[in-house]
Amino acid sequence: MESTKEHNGEKEINLLQHRHGECQVRLVQALDEIGVGDTALIIADHDTKPVFYQYQAERGHALSWQYEREGPEVWKIRVTKGNGGAGKVSAGCNLEELDVRQLPPPLRHKVIFEKFDSLRPTEGFLLVNDHDPKPLYYEFRSVRGDIFEWEYVEQGPQVWRVKVVKTKNVPATSGEPGTKFDLRRIPSPDRHPSIFHRFGTLTAGESLEILNDHDPRPLYENFRLTYGDNFSWDYLEQGPHLWRVKITNNRIAEPKERPAQVSGKELDVRPYPPAERHRLIFEKFEGLEPGAAFVLINDHDPKPLYYQFAAEHDGKFRWEYQEKGPVIWRVAIGKSPLSR
């Protein structure tokens, strides 16, 4: 039977006849096909929430979903496609909304920069966030320069809306999002809060670079008091007119330096039906001690599950592929040593 059809004007995506790995591919294709603001009914033999998280992260579109039926043999989920690269026009603003509230924090800046870089001069968007994006403003100034306008439309306490307009094309040598903060361009009271906020969105092993006209040693001391040994501080340049420092998130140690202790048996979910797999995996994760890990064995890439972990356990897990198909996938999933 056809996997997609229209029913009372609503697209129905039936995945019951597809294998679990094929469901992921078909669902992503179907979500690509529906328009912003449209709703589709997903029918599957398992909970497709991890794919929704993956889609939000990789496509930049917010999704909202509501369960019509939750197993045990059939799931029916009504999903609505929200704003992203082609969002709706906000009332009274004449700009498309870019709503990042449902995206995991480590992915928000990436999505925002990609949207900004796709604009032509005089084009813009309305950024919607769940906190004041002032650190992003300073990051834009540091990485892209004075080529944008920034105007608050709404300032909390629950929602912040900011009109962002590109005024001219970005120079090709401006660098990548999230890599640079020029402290010389940030007012003194906002410097440390902005850096701490951005550092908090970095995933394990990621870095940011700061520039200053003097040694930012006081910032180092604040980092040491806050994060202990869970960061590295490397001078790239030390005066006399410019200091450049690379700060790396080491809150979850690199596998080669501090491998997580694999506890218990491997969790092989291949014999289980799709509906049971995610439950078993999350129960295993919840039972881990901080710093411990288990090895997940699956018959397809569990990448959508990674995005669910990122959304629901941000900063509290580590994910390391040990084998990547084509028949078997093995992933070490660990709990952060700082998790409680």
The H helix count followed by the E strand count for the chain is 8, 18
Last-in-domain residue among 80, 111, 139: 80
List of residues 6+ apart from 271 with CB closer than 8 A: none
Q: Are residues 56 and 132 in the same domain?
A: no
Q: Are residues 234 and 284 in the same domain?
A: no
State the pLDDT at residue 235. 94
Last-in-domain residue among 18, 51, 80: 80
* CATH number of 93's domain: 3.30.110.40
Q: Are residues 89 and 157 in the same domain?
A: yes
Please state at what angle helix 217-227 crosses helix 188-200, rounded to 10 degrees. Answer: 40
Is residue 297 one of the residues assigned to a domain? Answer: yes
State the pLDDT at residue 203. 75
* Count of domains observed in the chain: 4
Q: Are residues 9 and 57 in the same domain?
A: yes
Is residue 256 one of the residues assigned to a domain? Answer: no
List of residues 6+ apart from 266 with CB closer than 8 A: 294, 295, 296, 297, 330
Distance from the first to the final alpha carbon of the chain: 48
| pLDDT band at 229; cut points 50, 70, 90 | confident
Average pLDDT over residues 224-243: 87
Is residue 145 one of the residues assigned to a domain? Answer: yes
Please state at what angle helix 274-286 crosses helix 20-33, rounded to 10 degrees. Answer: 100
pLDDT at 246 over 90: yes
State if pTM tops 0.95.
no
Find residue 267's DSSP bridge partners: 296
Is residue 184 one of the residues assigned to a domain? Answer: yes
Average pLDDT over residues 286-290: 88
**Residue 236 domain boundaries:** 179-251
Q: Are residues 223 and 287 in the same domain?
A: no
Is residue 298 one of the residues assigned to a domain? Answer: yes
Average pLDDT over residues 264-291: 84
Q: Are residues 269 and 325 in the same domain?
A: yes
Q: Are residues 65 and 27 in the same domain?
A: yes
Q: Are residues 59 and 139 in the same domain?
A: no
Reported as a single tens digit per residue, the pLDDT across 31-88 is 888 888 889 999 998 888 888 888 877 777 778 888 899 888 899 999 998 765 434 4
Last-in-domain residue among 55, 80, 105: 80
Q: Are residues 169 and 193 in the same domain?
A: no
State the pLDDT at residue 253. 42
**What are phi and psi for residue 56, nearest 5 degrees?**
-60, -45
* CATH number of 314's domain: 3.30.110
Q: Are residues 184 and 124 in the same domain?
A: no
